[in-house]
Amino acid sequence: MQEQSSKSLEAAWLSVTQRANSAAAGRPVRILAVSKTRPAALIRSLVALGQQAFGENYVQEALGKQAELGDTAIEWHMIGPLQSNKCKDVAEHFDWLQTVDRARLIEPLARFRPAHLPPLNVLVQVNIDDEPSKAGCQPGQIAGLADSIAAHPRLRLRGLMAIPAPAADVGIRRAAFVRMRTCFERLRDSHRDVDTLSIGMSDDFELAITEGATMVRVGSLLFGPRA
């Protein structure tokens, strides 16, 4: 599949930004540009337009692009499932990790986070539709994971992330977002400084924002369909 030319990349970025802002109706919302499978050159083009945050799913692929992009100011988010043996790479090379879904990841992440970097920003991933094959914790496990993340000075608990099951029906999608928002508000009762609810992708980012997303993760709408 053909990737966007730099002109259509700019048009796509402006359109997503405007649609997100109008759905947010004055509330701040962040767009994470999901750059998995996309070359570093396209990331550089979006940075030139003002995009700051990029999401990657595979650690090795991300490290390669980070090396190519050198000193470019980018906020890197890991949004793919995390294997335990990748905790060190993520702690050393990312600013955010959106996919913490089990307790045994937490201690290694904290231990490997280099002292010269700020704490690693962490989201707890929730399997909100209770899909058997999907990553993410159960809603009932959020509080325990959040407490252990918050207990580590080298980690900073920022909120929740989910990838709801694809559904053609808007009502079903909305219901998943509403459940996530309820989890998020409950978490905020005990962790006041939590500020991030990462839900919504290319197909449904406006709906997610309407239902309370503070961050949406957009790939194909910016860069074109993935091969």
State both tokens at 78.
């890991």
Q: Does 163 contact ligand PLP by CB under 6 A? A: yes
SS (HEC) of 100-159: ECCHHHHHHHHHHCCCCCCCEEEEEEECCCCCCCCCCECHHHHHHHHHHHHCCCCEEEEE
* Binding residue for ligand PLP, selected from 57, 141, 148, 210, defined by CB under 6 A: 57
Q: Closer to ligand PLP at the Cβ: 17 or 202?
A: 202
Question: Does residue 36 touch ligand PLP according to CB under 6 A?
Answer: yes
Q: Is 220 in the site for ligand PLP (CB under 6 A)?
A: yes
Cα separations in angstroms, 67 against 34, 64, 152: 18, 5, 29
For residue 42, state whether it binds ligand PLP (rule: CB under 6 A).
no
Residue with tokens 């050393």: 92
Give the interface segment with ligand PLP, choosing from 9-17, 81-89, 164-172, 201-209 (CB under 6 A): 201-209
Q: 212 or 219: whose CB is closer to ligand PLP?
A: 219
Which range binds ligand PLP by CB under 6 A, 10-18, 59-67, 179-187, 200-208?
Answer: 200-208
Spatial distance between the Cα atoms of 50 and 77, rounded to a whole number of angstroms:
17
130 three-class SS: coil
Chain residues in the site for ligand PLP (CB under 6 A): 34, 36, 57, 79, 163, 201-203, 217-221
